[in-house]
Amino acid sequence: MSNYEAMEAKMIEVGVGLRSEHYQAAMTPASIDFVEVHAENFFAKGGAAQDILKAVSEHYKISLHGTSLGLGSFHPPPLSHLQKMKRLVDDYSPYLISDHACFSWSKEHNSPVHAGDLLPILFNTETLEVMIKNINRVQDLFGQQILLENISSYIPMHDDTIPETEFFNLLCQSTGCGMLLDIHNVQVNAVNRHSKDPLNDVLTFVSELETAHVKQLHLAGIADTSQDIWIDDHSGPVSSDTWVAYAAAIKRFGSTPTLIEWDSKLPQWSRLVDEAISAASYATKVLENE
């Protein structure tokens, strides 16, 4: 293999989260591989939103990122809701499909109710069994692997009986799903637990995940990292500690597709693209030094 071929083999596919403020700018092709869209924004049939997604899909691969499946819910998402996402899967053949390891659905007067948020789950055998059933149902319907993202939380959960990393390992082994490792979320949780060494906690988390299961990485930041409690609002650049943890993740998991998330206090589209390109360059250097 030539040096050029070796470099090509190590290339990291990178993308950014596409938000409505950047729809127009995204119509001009940029040096990224994919964009991630929140699936629920495109559930409606037809209309301007579908026109935009079709136009964007001509320039980039599409990653569908759900925020409403709530696959840790003991009351599973209604079939009618899943079918809306299934329609997007059929129409756009997404590069990746993902949602969160959380619960969102319950019932009131025998009707499904959505919490409107990503609520943390207990990491125990009961939740594991529920998630395995829900994930298998979704993957059978979509005909494609889905990825589950670890979420941030603000209230300590004292009744867990399975370590979070072991929970994800078991979940992936049992269903064939993959993991979307959000490195920033791990850091947020470490800070909010008042860890004496949040970076070490993140590095430990990375080291405990089985390498075959992690299929995507998320990088994000907050505007003010001096706060005692971090709110996961994706309002700033990737922190220096998250970059260190990203290097560890690339060393462990290899050339893993990487996304820059930025949802509030949005910079220019060009800044987001530059962040993604920086991630690709950083990861390539990490791999070259392996």
Judge whether residue 281 has pLDDT over 90.
yes
> Where does the pLDDT of residue 76 fall: very low under 50, low under 70, confident under 90, or very high at 90 and above?
confident
Residue labelled with tokens 């910079």: 267
pLDDT (average), residues 151-163: 85
Whole-number pLDDT of residue 5? 36
Whole-number pLDDT of residue 106? 80
Domain residue spans in the chain? 3-288
Tokens of 18: 């596409």
Distance, in Å, from the CA atom of 103 to the CA atom of 131, rounded to the nearest integer, reads 10
Whole-number pLDDT of residue 264? 87
Ranking 164-168, 220-224, 229-233, 246-250 by mean pLDDT, the lowest is 229-233
Residue 42, SS3 per DSSP: helix
Q: Are strands 103-108 and 111-119 parallel, antiparallel or unpaired?
A: antiparallel
**H/E segment holding residue 217:** strand 214-219
Whole-number pLDDT of residue 102? 92
Residue labelled with tokens 């127009």: 24
Residue 10, SS3 per DSSP: coil
Tell me the average pLDDT of the chain: 91
> Where does the pLDDT of residue 178 fall: very low under 50, low under 70, confident under 90, or very high at 90 and above?
very high
Q: pLDDT tens, 21-64? A: 999 999 999 999 999 999 999 999 888 999 999 999 999 999 99
Could you tell me which residues are beta bridge partners of residue 113?
A: 106
Ranking 17-31, 84-98, 100-114, 270-284 by mean pLDDT, the lowest is 100-114
Judge whether residue 155 has pLDDT over 90.
no
At residue 190, what is the residue type?
A: A
Distance, in Å, from the CA atom of 149 to the CA atom of 189, rounded to the nearest integer, reads 14
What's this model's pTM, rounded to 2 decimal places?
0.93
Q: Find the DSSP H helices in the chain.
A: 3-9, 23-26, 47-57, 79-92, 125-142, 164-175, 183-192, 198-208, 240-253, 269-288
pLDDT (average), residues 199-203: 97
Distance, in Å, from the CA atom of 60 to the CA atom of 84, rounded to the nearest integer, reads 22
With both helix axes pointing from N to C terminus, report the angle between 240-253 and 183-192 in degrees, rounded to the nearest 10.
130
CATH 3.40.50.1100 given to domain 3-288: no
Judge whether residue 127 has pLDDT over 60.
yes
